[in-house]
Each structure stands twice: as C-alpha cells, then as structure tokens.
Structure 1
Amino acid sequence: MPAALMIRPVCPRDWADVARVAYLTGFFGQSARVYFPDQALFGALWIGPYVQGTGAGSFVAERAGEVVGYVLGAPEHDRYRQALSRVVARQVIRRRPTSATLRSLRYLWRAALYPSPHADWRAFPAHLHLNLLPAARGAGAGRRLLEAHLSVLGGLGVPGVQLSTTTENVAALGLYRRLGFEVLETRITPLWTPWLGHPATHVLMGLRAPGRDRDPVRRD
C-alpha cells in the first residue's frame, strides 16, 4: 500500500526539491533536459523568483518524506517580473556560462521569439504553475494542490488567476476545467517544434473570483 500523500505549504528546505521536480517534469511531464541541459539555470529561472518572496499559496505534495509535486504562484505580476529580472541579471548575464548553458540558450531565444499568450494582468493579476512526478499522478494530488492554492488567492482578494499550458498536457487541461478555469485564447506556436517535431498549441486559461465580470480581457 503506497504511503499517504500530504499537501503542505512550501518551506525554505523544499526549494531544491521543487526545482528538481520542475526539471524532471518540465517537458510536458518529462525531463526538461531534452531542451534545457543546464539544470541549475533551469531551477534558478523557473523557481528563483518565488524563492525571493513574490509568491503566495505555494504548496508541495509529499509522500514518504519526498516532494513529488508542487503548485507555485504569484498574486502580483509586477513584483514577480521584478524578481525574474533580478534572477536573469544574476544567472544569465553575470554567470560564467558552461557548455550546458550555451545549449540551453536555444530555448530561451525561441521563447523570446514565440512568447506564450497572456490575459490582461489587471483582470488576472495572479499566475500559477503546477507539476507532479509520475508517481504522484492519478491520486488526486493535482486537485488538492490547486484547491489549496486557490483558497489562498481567495483569502487575498485576488480578482483572477491565469495560466498557460499546451494541448500536449491533456490531463492538466482536464483538471483546470474541472476547477472552473476557462479557455481565454489558443495559439499555435512553433516554439517547441525542434523538440516535439511539430508545432504545439498554447492554451491560455483563466479563473475569475466569484462575482467578478466573466468577460476575459486580453492584452498583448
């Protein structure tokens, strides 16, 4: 019988484990190594801004003492962007690059060319990321993490939260829909073509707080 799954708030000792889970699941549920060989840089860019205190409602799923999933989010987009800029300056501009770093720049360059869509940050100021190791999937961990996160956002009075995924993440799309997220936009992107072998479809989803105007407002 598998050990019980526990959902709890992130604490400082979890960040290295969260970065590890992010990397192991960063390519549509599989390892990000296929497109981003520099694991340390990946962790710094994807997790670093939250470590600086811009996040709220961050939780981990833990089983038998191992972090097997997480949800991270930031309720204030401007604070998150400022923290990300500091991370980029420290990790990309000032850091001595390795061969793995240089091979990872291909993805960063393409991500700048083909950015994900986003909704109007005034209407949907929060964003979130959720990832699970294979061993944690199918056990309700994703739903429990997401419900815990949304409960915190509700307590903060956040008017709306958005996320960007792709049609490659079928299970995640189903989870978000079941918890009330709606598709705000879809966009075919060549971002992932070198690694998938075909274009992907970005899916922008949003969830407004109860009682808010439900007409999504998008801003490029």
Structure 2
Amino acid sequence: MSTPPLLRPVRPDDEAAVSAVAYATGFFGASAARYFPARELFGRLWVTPYLRGMPPCGFVAQLGGQTVGYIIGSPSWDTYARALRRTVPHSLWEAWPAPQEVVPSLRFLLRSARYALPHADAARYPAHLHLNLLPEARGHHLGEQLLLTYLDELRRRGACGVQLSTTEENVAAVHLYRKAGFTVLSEARTPLWTPWLGRPTRQLVMGRIL
C-alpha cells in the first residue's frame, strides 16, 4: 500500500460507496450476490438506517479517493430501532427488487427471521458495529485502525459497552476483535447459512466494556 489511507467520519453522502463495499463483502468477505441478488435493497436494509435514520456513527477508509472499507453502527439499540422504523418501510417501497431477484432475496430474509441472530444484554452492551474491508484493503491494519477509532468515538458518545455478531467463518475478523479486547459472550450453531455454505456454522456474539 504506497498511498497512506485516509480515515474520516462517515457521512450520509457515503451511502452509495458504503453500500457497494457492504455488498461486495457481504458473504464472509465475498459478494452477497450469492444469496441476495437484490443489490440496491441490500444497501437500503443494512446501510441506509445507519446513515439516514440517525446521526451517522462510524468511519470510512479511503485510498486514492476510493472507499475501501468502513465501520458503522449505533451507540444504542434504541437509536438503531428508531432508525429502522424511519427507513425500512420507505426503502422497501423504493427499492423493491426486480421479479427475478425477489425469490432468492426473500428466501434469505425469511431465513433471517426464522433463525434470528442472538444479541448480548443491551443494557451492558448498548452499542454495536459492522466492519467490512474490500480484499485489496486487507492485511494493512486498516481494520484495526477503523475499529480502535470507532471505539474511541463510542466512548466519546457515552456508550458503556459494544457488541457484534459474527461467525467462525470470519477467522481474521474474530482475531481482530479478540486483539481489541472483545470476548465471546455467547455462541450457537445456526442453519441460517446452510443453503449457501452447504453446512451449519457457529454464530458468535462478541462484546467488550468501554
């Protein structure tokens, strides 16, 4: 990496760039197209609430003006829940997928509802996060820089703890979180990803006190 990366606070006008990174990395570091072909709706569901539904909390990493990674989240679950209520109905109306994309995308949404991911105690760990990097940005400590910068921001905003959900498939991410002081709060095998992985995987809820 010859050009030093730029880390800056995420803004609402980063929505398209952050959504592109989220989609390109949404399947254990690979493209989410494998299980969710509705690309625009993907961003509307998993990025828009953080950038349009609440004051943005997070950072982007840029190389040569291109966004190659990000970390976004919320200081509290209540704030995030309100953001979902503000944005999701409108997003479904605006970004409902083309007919050929509906069935596979809906399949994932239905499985997500059926095999809902666990969360830690929101009183003890009110904040949460999502961190993703494009392949070309990995291995240069950008993930660590984004994570530590975000944790400092959560402290500044008064959050007492933070949690995240990942799987055992994300080996590098789990290592990064452990290095930053996160511990596994709960874990369970889940069949959520079986149609695309070919097997169940272990879901991890990790957290740390701030």
TM-score, normalised via structure 2 length? 0.94
Amino acid at match of 1:90: H
What number of residue pairs does the alignment pair up? 209
Partner of 1:133: 134
Cα distance change on mapping 1:142 and 1:94 into 2, 3 Å: closer
Name the CA distance, whole Å, in 1 between partners of 2:96 and 2:184: 41
Please state whether the residue corresponding to 1:139 is helix, strand or coil.
coil
Please state whether the residue corresponding to 1:184 is helix, strand or coil: strand
How far off is 1:103 after superposition?
A: 2.3
How do 1:114-133 residues align onto structure 2 when only pairs under 5 Å count? 114-133=115-134
Match of 2:64 in 1: 64
2:198 is matched with which residue? 197
- Structure 1 residues 63 and 77, CA, compared in 2 at 3 Å: closer, same or farther? same
Alpha-carbon shift at residue 156 of structure 1 (Å): 1.7
Percentage of pairs with the same residue: 51
Range 89-98 or range 61-70, more displaced: 89-98
Report the Cα offset of residue 14 of structure 1. 1.6
- Aligned partner of 1:215 in structure 2 is none
Offset, 1:73: 1.0
- Partners in 1 of 2:95 and 2:171 — Cα distance? 37
C-alpha contact (below 8 Å) 1:18/1:67 kept by paired residues: yes
Give the C-alpha shift of residue 90 in structure 1: 1.9
Q: Please say if residues 187 and 205 of structure 2, whose CA atoms lie closer than 8 Å, have aligned partners that are also in contact.
A: yes
Task: State the Cα deviation string for residues 154-212 of structure 1 (Å, max 9, x = none).
Answer: 11221110000000000000000000001000110000000000001100000112xxx
* Alignment-derived partner of residue 153 in structure 1: 154
CA contact (8 A) 1:166 1:203 kept: yes
CA contact (8 A) 1:55 1:72 kept: no
CA displacement at 1:55 relative to structure 2: 5.0
Matched, 1:79 2:79: yes
- State TM-score, norm by structure 1: 0.90
Query: C-alpha distance in 1, partners of 2:124/2:51?
Result: 25
Q: Sort the Cα spacing of 1:32 and 1:55 in 2 relative to 1 into closer, same or farther, 3 A.
A: farther
Which AA in structure 2 matches 1:7? L
- Aligned residue number for residue 169 of structure 1: 170
What amino acid does structure 2 have at the position aligned with 1:172?
Answer: A
Cα 1:53–1:96, aligned 2, differ >3 Å: closer, same or farther?
closer
For the residue of structure 2 that corresponds to 1:54, the secondary structure is coil
CA RMSD of superposed structures (Å): 1.5
Shift of 1:118: 0.4
Where in structure 2 are there 5+ consecutive unaligned residues?
A: none
Contact 2:53 2:86 in 1 (8 A): no
Letter in 2 for 1:149: Y
Give the gaps of 5 or more residues in structure 1: 210-220
CA spacing shift, 1:164–1:64, aligned 2, 3 Å: same
What secondary structure does 2:139 align onto?
Answer: coil
- Change over 3 Å in CA distance of 1:97–1:139 after alignment to 2: closer
Give me the whole-angstrom Cα distance separating, in 2, the residues matched to 1:85 and 1:173: 30
After superposition, the Cα gap between the structure-2 partners of 1:121 and 1:24, relative to the gap in structure 1 and judged at 3 Å, is same
- How far residue 54 of structure 1 moved from its aligned partner, in angstroms, is 2.4
